[in-house]
Amino acid sequence: MVAETTLFEVFGGREGVSGLVDEFYRRVEADPGIRPVYPADLTPGKEKLKLFFEQWLGGPAVYSEKYGHPRLRLRHFPFIIDEHHAGLWLRHMRQAMLARNIPAEAIAVVFERLAPLAKQMVNAHEDVPREPLGDLILN
């Protein structure tokens, strides 16, 4: 990986990120251990994850332009997420990256940041607001 190359480019740009998220969601849909955490309609979340990952990997900031600050923990309060779910999420994301032939070095860099982020989403044993935020713009 060349220092000037963004992870967004290494992941294949918009098309690569879209393929990664589609691969990830195929795995989530097939896993009865994590599928119940997600709403019935996966489409909105899938589209938001694509935009978030594009931005998070160094691509265009379309997510923030549409939805404001990511505030991921707050946005995930409506979903009851425990440690096991966070682990499954990470496993499926890693498997999706491997299936999309993302270089091991890039996966390692991403998971240094992604693993703590997934653990931060754990909220199952907390008294947090569970009302869905929808497409609320947060600043």
Q: What span, in angstroms and rounded, lies between the C-alpha atoms of 107 and 114?
A: 10
Q: What span, in angstroms and rounded, lies between the C-alpha atoms of 70 and 139?
A: 9
Is residue 139 a part of any domain in this protein?
A: no
Q: What span, in angstroms and rounded, lies between the C-alpha atoms of 35 and 39?
A: 8
Is residue 80 a part of any domain in this protein?
A: yes
Q: What is the pLDDT of residues 118-132, one digit of tens each?
A: 999 998 998 887 877
Is residue 135 a part of any domain in this protein?
A: no
Check: CB of residue 16 under 8 Å from CB of residue 100: yes
Mean pLDDT, to the nearest integer, of 41-62? 96
Is residue 47 a part of any domain in this protein?
A: yes
Q: What span, in angstroms and rounded, lies between the C-alpha atoms of 100 and 32?
A: 23
Is residue 1 a part of any domain in this protein?
A: no
When computed from its CA atoms, the radius of gyration of the chain, rounded to whole angstroms, is 15
Would you state the pLDDT for residue 50? 98
CATH classification at residue 73: 1.10.490.10
Q: What span, in angstroms and rounded, lies between the C-alpha atoms of 47 and 120?
A: 22
Question: Which among 106, 127, 130 has a CA at the least distance from the CA of 37?
Answer: 130
Domain that holds residue 94: 9-120
Q: Lowest mean pLDDT: which of 55-59, 104-108, 133-137? A: 133-137
- Proportion of the chain above pLDDT 70, given as a percent: 94
Is residue 129 a part of any domain in this protein?
A: no
Is residue 31 a part of any domain in this protein?
A: yes
Is residue 132 a part of any domain in this protein?
A: no
Q: What is the pLDDT of residues 3-24, one digit of tens each?
A: 568 999 999 999 999 999 999 9
Higher pLDDT, 85 or 130: 85
| This prediction's pTM | 0.89
Give the chain's domain count: 1
pLDDT higher than threshold 90 for residue 44: yes
